[in-house]
Structures are given as structure tokens and as C-alpha cells.
Structure 1
Amino acid sequence: MKKQMKRFRVRTVSAMVAMMFAANAWAVDPFTVRDIRVEGLQRVEPGTIFASLPFRIGDQYSDDKGSAAIRALFALGLFKDVRLETNGDVLVVIVEERPTVADVEFAGSREFDKDALKKALREIGLTEGRPYDQSLADRAEQELKRQYINKSLYGAEVVTTVTPIERNRVNLTFTVTEGEPARIKEIRIVGNSAFSDSTLRNLFDLDTGGFLSWYTKSDRYSRAKLNADLEVLRSYYLARGYLEFRIDSTQVAISPNKQDIAITVNVTEGERYVVSSVRLEGNYLGKEEEFKSLVKIVPGEPYNADRVAETTKAFNDYFGNFGFAFANVEARPEIDRVNNRVAFVLAADPSRRAYVRRINVAGNNRTRDEVIRREFRQFESSWYDADKIKLSRDRIDRLGYFKDVNVETSDVPGAPDQVDLNVSVTEKPTGSLQLGAGFSSAEKLALSFSIKQENAFGTGNYLGVDVNTSKYNRTIAFSSVNPYFTPDGISRSTDLYYRTSRPYEDQGGNYQIATAGASLRFGVPFSEFDTVYFGASAERTQIKPGTNIPAAYLAYAERFGYTSTAFPLAIGWSRDSRDSAVAPTSGRFQRISGEAGVFGDARYLRTNYQFQQYIPINKQFTFAFNTEFGYGKGLGSRPYPVFKNFYGGGLGSVRGFDQGTLGPRDVTGSSIGGPKKLTLNAEVITPFPGAGNDRSLRMFGFFDAGNVYGEDEKFSFSDMRASVGVGVSWISPLGPLRIAVAHPVRKFPGDRIQKLQFQIGTSF
């Protein structure tokens, strides 16, 4: 064949297919390649081309190899056009590179952070410096629209603009018109007769909106939220005897203007069934009686799916206590549709016993591994123990460093008697800024704040600074806690503080009670919930005389001196079984502490006991009770030091009364506190109206009672002050915020009232 130029060109996949069908028309006789030249390269290295070609110099060239070469070069994703030309026995590869992305910008996007959007595009390969691909741009545009739909912005429009610039580059701009979010206007439940529409709709987190919808966004449709609500609806029926309840269909309709959404849920309730009997079948390790005591299903009562689930879980957990991590417990219903009764057969197969091979920890980007692992009571290379695993999970959660803690079990390939425990945690900020404020006629505005880091540098140690800028009580304190001072879990706490105070009184004064001190305490864990504390302190208290000094302070100073030193010894005990330290709904907290000044100028005994109980009334309501009792007494024929008095009233005590003003007064009318204190608080907590079941925003009603008593006074309920009120609590980024409006229902002449109070960082 006479040497001549033959060329073929492929621009798209369809052109490649056409080329294959027209092979005879473009056919080139096979020849030996003497040289290969590449033209059109700007950024791509020639080696990339040569490495992709299915032939080398000296190889035989054919049409099939040419087609394979074109496919390989297009597959690189670097070129928008590829041509092969033959000039005698020289093969010329001519390419046209794709433009690279110079910049990616977003215009009009308010719902999403631009950096987060750029990161998402980077993950799919659409970012600065990468070759531009129209298919990736289309994919990114569709993904943006999908994300806006998930935010109920159904009318959102996304337009992609590609702007060519010098050096074969392009700028990408995604212009977004978000529009207004579509809102739920109607939720209908069809087919229900046992329960009213309003009762069932109140189960949903989704609703048709209220005055707090701007915060909760509960009127914005989300498929995930709807699915969760449907599961709640299903559970509601199954827990009330409706064994065969089902959700037939769910329709979500959107208005033509894409602003209104209507949700229709079609259900079939079925008949209500009563449990007739419960029996056990299978292998129960010879411990049938122990397992029977775990059965929550009660014959004669309506079928309750929650109790069935509780029973099977309790059985599995009990099997797990003996190492049977793969136990299978099945609750089989035997339905009598004639009499609307159901019998349950609990069939158990313990399967095989298992060891824990390895414990893997993930998600702790900041917290050190050892901080988590030292809380584990299940050890590697030991029998699987469900109780110890649950206890370990709870101990990690109670650290307060994580939003979420999950422990999952995974099989070990090739080892049927071993499992791995995978611990995943989601960290949360452990630094906090706590604020408090109160208004009164005496102090006007009293402020306090503290800066705390509960997990300093990921070590699990606590560091804190407390400052109180009150006009009459000022404090600066530095604290640190090492919860694992020893490997056995003995903690060490150190404090350094300086306090100045004077009782509340309207006429003012420039006297001061100044206390400087340091303390060292150790905590010894005696069980998983109990800790005993002991330690010692060194204090120096100075009574600085001035105008309007209370007579009680002046009398003490004239008798024992204006400066007192004390070296009190402290001992205490605490037990904490609450389900959460921030927003508890169940559990109990107890703490008792004692302090004895047996050396130095001040000789005294000071004790304090606190008790808290949280009782869940139902899913939405929680009853909380708190009481605090304090008692002090002088030792060695000395009176109890007045600067160690308890104070009551205000924040954390009896709301509705001015801070620290309850109890004895001296001849000048100044509040001086006392060596005896009793405080009672009761609250009913519920989600804030319009906030759905959101536990981070709640309201509460409360009743407070209490008083402070002098050394020669007896505890008397007839002297106690009391108040009622309502408040709001919000778990804010700064900590738990509580705002309360209190009304004293029992007060006495001379009491100072403080109706509005708020505080960040404490309970009660």
C-alpha cells in the first residue's frame, strides 16, 4: 500500500462506537512502529501517554491496537480529544487536554457553609487543580439540589457557570436561588379508631408549626424524621395490645408552588390482643428459674411489644454474663384470633461461648486512648461479659467528654469463639464558660463566671478557674483534678482560692471577711458508683473591720482575734447513678461531706448532705427532687466560726428570695447565715411547648422550701420560707442555662425578695 496519511478521530463515546462499525473504511495495514510522537501536551507528562499505549517502538501496529490506545487514553480522564495519525511507520498521538479547574465559588448559598460545600466537591474530584469534567459538574449540581431538598427547600435552583480563562483553565460558579422552605401544613392519619388524631399526632416530632418552629424546624419535612415518627407510631400501638397493627402507606404531597406539604398516613389497627401465657423452650443452661425472673411479659395484660423486647434483651444480656455472646432468643407468638389472645414461646439457643480478643477504640481525635480504656471493666482475652461491657460503656459516657458512646460486637474471621469490641465515641467540647447573674435591691446586678476544661489536653484531667464579681461576695479559685492519680483510679484534687465576703445589707459598708487557702483531696473508688473522699486544707481568715460591720463578726474578732488560722481535715462519700450529668431523667445522686478544724485557731465541725432523685413519669415528663442539709458546731468550748456559716436563698437554694439572705440576722439587721441549713426543691420538667421532644430545651415548674438556722435554734418547718415558680432550661453552647421566675408563697417581714433569676451551668 502506497504511503499516505490516514487519520481517525474520536470525540465522544458514540464516535468511538461508530468508528468500530466503520473499521473497513478506516483500516490501516499493519506495520512496525519505528517512532511514536506526542503532540498537544501542556501539563500532562509524556510518560503518562507512553505508559497507557498498548504498544511500543518496534511492535506491530494494527487497527485493534489503535482503538485500544484511544480507549486507554480517554480512560485517563485527562483529555477531551484524542487522535492517532500515521505518517509512514511513524505514529503521531495528538491530544487536547481537558481544562483544569482554577476556582470553585458559590453564590446565593445561605443554608450551607461554603467551605463544607467545597469539601464535598473535593471528595468527588471537582476541586482546584483537577481536570474539569462536565459529568462531575452535573453530578455536583444534582447533589446540591438533593441537599436542599433534605432541608425542605424544594424550590431551590442551582445554575452552573463555566468561565474559561487563560492557560486552558476554567472557573466554576454554582449560583443558588434557595427560595423559601416548604412547610408542613397538614398531617392526616387515616384508619385509626382506638386513638384520636390529636393523640397520635402528638407522638410525632414533625408538626404543622408553632411559635418555636424557627428554632426546632419541626414543620420542615424530612424523610428520616418521618420514618422515625412512623416507628414511634408503630411502637405506640404495639405497646397497647395491637399485635397486628401495620402502616399501609404514606403519601407526601407538595403544592404546585413547592411551599406547602401534606402528609397522609394510612394505618390498619387490627384487633387488641391479651397475653394468655408465657413458656420457655430450649437450652437455658439449667437456670430456668433465673430466666423466668427476667420475664416482663405479664399474662392477663394486653400485649406489649416493649415488654417482649425487654424480655428478649434481658435474656440475651443474662446469657452474655456467662460468655455466650451469640445467644439467640426468639419470642414466638401463638395467636388465637377467635378469642383475641396470644401465647408467647421464648425459645433460646445459647450457641457458643466467646472470648473478647481485642477492644478497638475509634472517634477519639483529642482524648487519649488510655482515658477511655481505663474505664473498661471488660478486659481483652477474657470471657465475654455483657454486664461488664454495659458498665464500661456507662462509665465512659459518665466522663462527660463525649456526645455519644457506642459499643458494638464483631466476629473474628476464622475464630468462631472470639469477638472484638468496637468502641466508637463522638467527642464534644469539654471547655465551658459558665455565667450566673441575679438582680436584687442590695447588689443590683451580681455576676459570676468560671472557665473550666474537663479534659485538659485529652488527658482526662480537670482544670478550672472560678471568679465571682459580686459586690458583697468575691471569689477567685483555681482547681485541678487528676481522676487517675494512681492506676487503681484514686483521684487527686487541688484547690487554691481567695475569697472576700460580707453579709447582704442595704446600707453598705467597707468591712471584709477575707479567706485565703489551699486544699489537697483524694478520692478512693470503693465500687462502680461509690467514692470516698479525704483530704486536708490550710486556711487563713481575716476579719477586716470597717463601717457597718455586723456585730456578730465584731464580737468574734474581739474574743478570738481578727485573724484565724485553720487546718481542717475533710472526708466525704458520693454515689452517682444518674443517666446523665447534664439533663438527667432517671437515677439518684447522693453526697455527704464532713470538715473538721482540729488544729489552729478555729475549731469546728461542718457537715453537708445532698440527695437528688430523678423519676421519669413518661416520655415527656420527669419529676426531680433535691434536698440539702448542712450542720456545723464549734469544738473545744469554742463557738462555731461565723465565717464558716451556711447561707440560703437565691440561686441553687430557695428561689424567689435574695441571694444568701435567709436565716439569722444580727442587731444591725445584717444577714450572717448560720451553722444549720435545710433546703428542699421539687421540679416537674417537660419539653418546651412547640419544641417537640427536644430535651435540650425544656420548661419546669418548681416548689422550693428552706431556711438557715442559728447555733441555738432548732430545725423548724414553721420557720421555713417557700416559693413556687416556672422556668426554662436550655442546654446552650455555654452550658445548661436556667431562667426562673419565682413567687414566694411563704415569707416573713424583713425578707428580701428576688423574683427573676438566671444561671448558666448548674441545676436547681
Structure 2
Amino acid sequence: MFFILMVFFSTNVYAKNTWIVRDIKLEGLKHVAAKEVFRNLVFNIGSKISKNDIKNSILALFKTKKFENIRVISSSNILIFKLQERPLIQNIFITGNSMIQDTVLKKYLTQLEIDHGFFLNPFHIKIFKKNIRQFYHDHGKYACNIKILSIPHTDHTIDLKIIISEGSLTYLNKIKIFGNDHFSGDKIISLFELNHHNIWWNIFEKNFYSYKKLQQGLKKLKDFYLNQGYFYFKIKQHNIHFSKNKNKVDIIIDIFEGHQYKISRFLIHGSVFNHYNDILNIVNLHNDELYNQEKIYSIVNDIKKLLFQYGYIKSQVILSPQINHRDKTIILNFNIDLQKRYFVRKIYFSGNKITKNFVLQRKMQQSEGEYFNIKKVENGKKKLEKTGYFKHVNVMYNIFSDKLRQIDVIYQVEEQSTGSVNFGLGYGFDSGLSFNSIISQDNLFGSGNNLNTNVTVNKYQKYADLSIGYPYFFSKKTEFNTRIFYSNKKYHLDDEENIFKKTYGIESNLGFRINDTDIVNIGTGYAHNAIKKFYDQKNHTFLKSNTSNSDSLINDANKNNLLNDYTISYSWMHDSLKYLYFPIFGNRTYISAKHTIPGSDNHFYKIIFDKVKYTPLNKKKNFIFLYHVHMGIGHGFKKHRLPFYENFSINNFNNIRGFQSETIGPKTIFDDIISKNCIQKEDNQLCESNRSIGGNAVIISNFELITPIPLINKKYSQFLRSSFFIDVGNIWNTNINNIQDVDSSTFSMLHNLKNTYSSFGVSLQWFSPIGPLVFSYAHPIQKNHDRQLEPFQFNIGKNW
């Protein structure tokens, strides 16, 4: 569709350059108001005009996109505008689309002004058809067809009927390679995502043809040869042949390999001052090394990054190869021009509506007034990302004055919610109805401080705590955390015996940051424990014993069964994980120790070692090996035992999947085999409690292979993870030497370290709006004789 412009002038008009308009008449208007037409004219009645004024008026009317044709007739200084409007769109009907939802199409149509109340614009129709067709092509549907029919009405309005025939997918039939002498056709075809063979997680998906994928494959092919020394490699041509119905495609690629070239030596040119040795270390090329374009370009980028660290933001590194065709060698010349060195004038922050500027400022390594250092600037970006306050962090640079060599750094952030209010209600076979409430704010009033509260109530426990943290206490390298807590817990031994423990206390620690990844903490704590043993005597007989853990524990307390513990703790943590949630590489190591000090009613120490490491197995970092180990040991001294409430236990962060919660480790043994809360031991009359009371030693290891999720689009990989795992470990009580010497409250132990629990299975992790959710299905390898299994498990918040 095109526009025809016809302007007629009478002979007397052409005889004059200008004239005065006596009147203006409009003909052909349907939906456009006359006022709008007159508003776009560059003259009025009585104006002195020329031919150019009429042309400009016509152009102004066409710019409204409401007219298809305009004719202007002049007679006796009267201008008559004969206007042909474009039809007005009344309704739009869409049929045949399944890949694209109606709402998406209608939104795009509205953006192109193809909607009710708009005048039909043929150019916008072309854009719509072109882009929708390209969408289907990108998704492998080259047989698609898009028709747009106009249904006119008598009032100069139309209905548009958009008919989409999506067609079937166009699959790759074959790829033929010509000109390859040094590499097999299969090797070359494997470089293309269009190859016939699918990786295991997409086994059900055929490879459809896509022009974008083909171009990506051709680039990979060229890079492959250039990285193998074939300096003059080129793709001579590639031809694409569709079948008649476009459901299959054949691709023919003709290449020229050429000869392999080696690097004989390299030279560094330019005034690089005292940076020569650093640059020399970056250019790790050796004589007679095959030419590798990827490696050489990487060297160039590394040189630029190095110079960026010293403020040379406009430095240039130009490669100039000298070719020796006879010897098939190359001399590489690195021509370096440092140009100007820039200072940072100001550091700005934008987008932080809640978080205070000083919170962002204290994360900066780059200082104002110093030479610009890209490494420090990027480290500032990483630190901001690691806070968890921001959804996105971008860095921009603005040269304030080229003459003064000044640059401004702008951090653009997009804030996200840092607080949560969670309430949980559940029911457990042992614990009955359970209520849990967690309120947390990691960026309190935008100050960077954090506040957390936790309340848990069930049959066995009432617990509450309040903690607050100051990441920057009195300097950038110190942090302070404190917590107050209250607990009222019931330890169920059997149907007649229970221990009730009420605890309140406070813990505080001061952290000293050594560097970006390491922090050392020292802390103090106080806990007041009120312990009461309740016994409902019935006609049961018990095994006799000279010792009892629970009795000895109470005997160690004062007459009111009150225990006051004063502790000092020490810890060191190294954290180099990439990303807080769903890390892809790095490790986190945590070592801590805690012991009581004089004045405590108990005398004990505990040591914990925890390490997790992520190792990528490929360049895409979608295959990752995860190793996690958790070890702990605790003992009493001065003839004291480790208090039972300080025992190690299994939790969501250190567990062996596939086994019921709180069933791993030492348990209470008693002789009441009728009790509903115990399991009869094999070949004797002893009964073992359902629930473990923990022990003073623990070793747990988790091995996981993180893999792409089958049949899931790549864009969801940052929210979903799957893995295969093996878990192994146990909890022991090393303070008991004779398992036969027990009574109704004696804690049993497993015989030796060989008696461990282990399992294997699969896991799915989802980073949901409420935090990480973990689903797992496990099968035991080695298990306890009571078979207290739980194959399917679900946890909230676990993220090694």
C-alpha cells in the first residue's frame, strides 16, 4: 500500500509565487474533526501563502497517520482539501494461535496502534506480520503463515481478522560438510546445537531448525578452527534447503581449512612504564605454540583489565601479526597505547529508595579522589549484590571532564524486599499440633542492621528468641550480633519419665573481618537452665544400674536443680561462594569452639567443623559437584559430662535424608516393651525410644551432583535445581562404655563408627518467594534395625 499525492493549481496560481487565501474548504472527513485538520495547517484564511506552505500542511496532515490520500485544489484563491481517511479499526479477531496467548498478541497490537479506535496503518501491519513470523521462525516453525483480513463497514470502519497458521516444526534432516580434511564431519557437526543427538535431559525434544542456532553454530565452527592454529580458515558458503512443506531442512557447509600456524614469538610495544612485567606475565605465550584466537583475545582483554585497574580507562591494545607463509609462523605484536589516566571524582547511588547511602558507601573499595580501579569498582558491585538488599546492581561510568581526567561512578540498584513475616501451622505424629512464627528484617529502616524473631510452640517445646545484628559496629571491619532467648522443652524418655527444662539467656559476639572472605568472631554467653525430672510411678520393673545420665545431670546441679552456664565462643569463617542462594562455585568453611568458664555449674567444651564446596564440572557451570561435611565433638571436664541439652542432633541443615526426623543417634533404653513410645529391640526384652536424644559426637557427609533439570527451559535454571545425592553419617555418645549398664533413663550408644546411616536419592530445590524449598526422595543404603524411614522429605530454607 502506498500514498499518492496530487496537488492541482490553476494557471493563475502558478503565475504568482504568493497569494492570499480567501477561503479553505474540507471534503471527505468521516471521523477526523475539522478542528484537528485546521490545527495542522500552517496557514489560516487571509494568510499570504506559497506552494511550500501547502506542501508543509499536507506533510503535517500525513504525520497524523489518519489519512490515506490528500488532494489540494486551488481556484480563485480558494483552497479545497479533498481528504481520504484511513479506515478506523472497530474490532480485532485472532484465530489459530496456540504458542502465543491472545493477551500477548493484543498487547503487542496495542503497542503498534493496531487496536480499537486507531486508524489503520499499513506500515504497522507489515511490522506486526514480520515480527510475529520471526518469532515462529525462531521457534522452528518455518511453515507458519499469517493473514490479516479487513472487513469493511458502511461507516468507514473495519474489523480486522488475524488468521495465524502456525504449521509444524521444521526439523533438521541432515548437515553436510565439505572441505574438511583434518577433522571428521561428526566432530564438526557436534559443534552445532542443530545436531541430531540430544543430551540426556532433552531426550524427548527433537532438534528443530533455527536460523539463530545456525549462525551460532557457524561462529563456533570458525572459532574452533581459529583456536586450533588455522589462521586462514574461512566458511566459503552455507546453503539451506527446505523440503516442499518446510517440515525438514538440509544444511550444506563448504569450508576452507588452510594450514596450521604457530607463534614464533611476541613483542610488546608502547610506553607502558612500570607495568611491563605485569603485562609480560599476562602474555603467557610460548615459542612454537599453535595460534589460538580465543587465548590471544583473552590476553588482550586481560591487559585492558590490568590497565583499567590503574585508571587507564581508554587504553588501546592493537594486535599486529607478522605472517611468515613459508615457515607457517606468526610474530605477534602487542601495540599498547595507555592514553590518559583518570581519577574518580564522585561515586553516586541511584534507585535506593529505602537503603541509606552510607550503607552502600561502606561497601565500596573504590574511594573518591583516587585513581579509577575497575577491580575495586567491581568488588563494590559484588558486595552490594551479596547483601541481598537488591534485585539488580549495575555500574555505569561517566567521564565528567576529559581535560581534568575525572570520572564519576554510578551504581544503579533495584531494591527488593528484605523483610518477611511467616506463620506456620503443622501436625506431627510425635509433636502434635505445631505453631511457628518468624519475623525478620535484614535491612532495618534502611540502616543495614538486621532484626529477627522466632517463636515455636508444640507439644514438646515452647521457644522464642530475638536477635539483632550490626554488620558495621564501630568500623568497616567489625560486626556485632546479640541474641536473647527463652525455651521450655520437654524431653520424653518413656511413658512414665520426662525431663522438663526451662532456659533463658543471652549470647553476643564481635566479628573482625580479615578480608572480603574471612571473618573471626569471639563471643560470650549466659544460659540459665531450670531442670525438673517428672516420674509417674506404675507397676513396671526396670534394669538396675550404678549410673544414670539424667540422674547424674541433676545431681550435678544445686538443690533447686538450677544450672547457670557462662561460655566463651570462638569461630572463623571463610566464605567465597558465588551467590548466596544456589551457589555455582566456591567454598564456605566454618570452625567454632565453645567452652564454659569458672563460675559455671557445668564444665564442658564443644568444637564444630563445617565445610561445603561447589566445584563446576563444565564451562556452563550447570554440572556442579557439591561436597559438604559436618563434624562436631563435645566433652565435659573436671569430672563433668556434656549436658544432655548440649548434645548434637540432626536438623534440616545437617541431615541424612530418607530417615525420620530425630531418629538418628543415641536413644533412651528401658525395659517397658509395652510402651507406645518405644520400639522393641531384637532378641531381648529391652525397648528403645522412638526419638533420639543426641550425642556428643557427630560426623555427617553429603555428596551431590547438581545437574540441569530435564525438560525445563534454561531461563528457569536460576530458580530450580536438581541433584543426585549420597548422604552418610551418624551421632554417637562416646561417654558410655557399656551398653548393658542401663536403666530407664540411660542413653544408649551405637557400637562403633561402622554403624552409620547412609542413603542415596534425588533432590529438587526451588528458590521460591518465601525462600529456598527443598524436596528429596531417598532410599537407605545402610539403616538402623528399626527401619524408621521417611523416603520423601520437604524442607524450607536449606541451602548448604
Above 0.5 in TM-score?
yes
| 1:377 Cα deviation after fit | 1.7
Partner residue of 1:632 out of 631, 634, 651: 634
**For residues 62 and 275 of structure 1, do their structure 2 counterparts lie closer, same or farther at Cα, with a shift above 3 Å needed?**
closer
Please name the residue that 1:762 is paired with: 798
Report the residue type matching 1:645 in the other structure: N
- 1:674 partner amino acid: G
The answer to whether the aligner puts 1:13 opposite 2:10 as a matched pair is no
1:311 to 296, 299, 305: 299
Question: Which amino acid is the alignment partner of residue 124 of structure 2?
Answer: L
Give the whole-Å Cα distance in 2 for the aligned partners of 1:239 and 1:442. Answer: 64
Aligned residue number for residue 683 of structure 2: none
Count of residue correspondences: 751
Match of 1:53?
41
Aligned counterpart, 2:405: 417
The aligned residue for residue 727 of structure 1 is 762
Residue by residue over 1:96-133, the C-alpha shift from the partner in whole angstroms, topping out at 9 and shown as x without a partner, is 65555566565554433545444434443445554442
Q: CA deviation at 1:577?
A: 1.7
User: In the aligned structure 2, how far is the partner of 1:601 from the partner of 1:80?
Assistant: 96
Q: Is the 8 A contact 2:114 2:120 kept in 1?
A: yes
Q: Distance in 1 between matches of 2:200 and 2:439?
A: 31
**1:706 equivalent in structure 2:** 729
Superposition deviation, residue 589 in structure 1: 1.6
Q: 1:234 to 1:475 in 2, by over 3 A?
A: farther
Residue 690 of structure 1: how far off its partner (Å): 7.5
Inter-CA distance 752–266: structure 2 relative to 1 (3 Å threshold): farther
| CA RMSD, 1 decimal | 5.3
Whether the 8 Å CA contact 2:491–2:500 is kept in 1: the answer is: no
Q: Which residue of 1 aligns with 2:576?
A: 577
1:390 corresponds to 2:392: no
Contact 1:727 1:738 in 2 (8 A): no
Amino acid at match of 2:302: A
Distance in 1 (alpha carbons) for counterparts of 2:74 and 2:11: 16
C-alpha change, 1:729 and 1:514, in structure 2 (3 Å) is: farther
Structure 1 residues 33 and 693, CA, compared in 2 at 3 Å: closer, same or farther? Answer: closer
Aligned-partner residue type, residue 327 of structure 1 = S
Matching residue of 1:615: 615
In structure 2, do the counterparts of structure 1 residues 309 and 587 end up closer, same or farther at CA, with 3 Å as the change threshold? farther
- Equivalent-residue separation in structure 2 for 1:261 and 1:144 (angstroms): 21
Is the 2:725–2:763 Cα contact (8 Å) retained in structure 1? no
Flag the 1:730–1:749 CA change in 2: closer, same or farther, 3 A: closer
The residue aligned with 1:145 is 133
Q: Is 1:323 equivalent to 2:320 in the alignment?
A: no
Which residues of structure 2 form unaligned runs of 5+?
A: 543-547, 671-687, 738-749
Indicate if the aligned counterparts of 1:440 and 1:658 stay in contact, CA closer than 8 A: no
Of 483, 500, 516, 1:528 maps to: 516
Would you say the 8 A contact 1:681–1:703 is kept in 2? yes
1:589 is the counterpart of 2:588: yes
User: How has the CA–CA distance of structure 1 residues 213 and 288 changed in structure 2, closer, same or farther, with 3 Å as cutoff?
Assistant: closer
Contact 1:663 1:708 in 2 (8 A): yes
CA separation of 1:125/1:535 partners in 2, compared to 1, >3 Å: closer, same or farther? farther
Q: How far does residue 383 in structure 1 lie from its aligned partner after superposition?
A: 0.9
2:694 is aligned to 673
Task: Within 5 Å, give how 1:14-413 maps onto structure 2.
Answer: 14=4, 16-17=5-6, 19=7, 32-36=20-24, 48-60=36-48, 65-80=53-68, 82=70, 91=79, 95=83, 98=86, 100-101=88-89, 106-127=94-115, 129-162=117-150, 172=160, 174-186=162-174, 190-192=178-180, 194-196=182-184, 204-205=192-193, 207-208=195-196, 210=198, 219-299=207-287, 301-336=289-324, 338-359=326-347, 374-400=362-388, 407=395, 409=397, 411=399
For the Cα contact (< 8 Å) 2:175–2:251, is it kept in 1? yes
Whole-angstrom CA distance in 2 between matches of 1:447 and 1:207 = 55
Distance in 1, matches of 2:221 and 2:462, equals 54
Amino acid paired to 1:712 = N
Q: How far, CA to CA, are the matches of 2:110 and 2:174 in structure 1?
A: 39
Distance 1:763 1:95, change over 3 A: same
Deviation at 1:673, TM superposition (A): 1.3
User: Aligned to 2:553, which of 544, 552, 556?
Assistant: 556
Which residue identity lines up with residue 613 of structure 2 in the other structure?
Q
Cα gap change, 1:763/1:37 in structure 2, threshold over 3 Å: closer, same or farther?
Answer: same
CA distance in 2, matches of 1:745, 1:398: 38
SS in 2 for 1:556: helix
- After TM superposition, the structure 1 stretch with the greater mean CA deviation from structure 2, 99-108 or 350-359, is 99-108
TM-score (norm 1): 0.77
**Distance change >3 Å, CA 35–CA 277, structure 1 → 2:** closer
Task: Write out aligned runs for 1:461-476 (5 A).
Answer: none
* Distance in 2 of aligned mates of 1:711 and 1:703: 26
Q: Work out the CA distance in 1 between the residues paired with 2:408 and 2:462.
A: 53
For residues 570-589 of structure 1, the C-alpha deviation after alignment (integer angstroms, 9 at most, x for no partner) is: 55332222233334343232
Matched-pair contact (CA < 8 Å) for 2:706–2:722? yes
**Cα distance in structure 2, aligned partners of 1:257 and 1:467:** 66
Q: Is the CA contact 2:69–2:85 (under 8 Å) kept in the aligned structure 1?
A: yes
Superposed CA offset, 1:268-295 (max 9, x none): 4444455444443333313433433333
Q: What letter matches 1:614 in structure 2?
A: Y
Change (3 A) 1:95 1:245: closer
Which residue matches 1:3? none
Partner Cα distance (2:385, 2:50) in 1: 68
- Mapped contact 1:552–1:666 kept (Cα < 8 A): no
Q: Distance in 2 between matches of 1:556 and 1:501?
A: 16
Q: Distance in 2 between matches of 1:533 and 1:49?
A: 77
Shift of 1:324: 2.0
Give the whole-Å Cα distance in 2 for the aligned partners of 1:40 and 1:81. 10
Which deviations, in whole Å up to 9, do the C-alpha atoms of 1:465-506 show, x marking residues without a partner?
A: 878899988977776666456783755656677777778999
Tell me the SS of whatever aligns to 1:383: coil
Secondary structure at 2:146 match in 1 = strand
Deviation at 1:217, TM superposition (A): 6.8
Percent sequence identity over matched residues? 25
SS in 1 for 2:300: helix
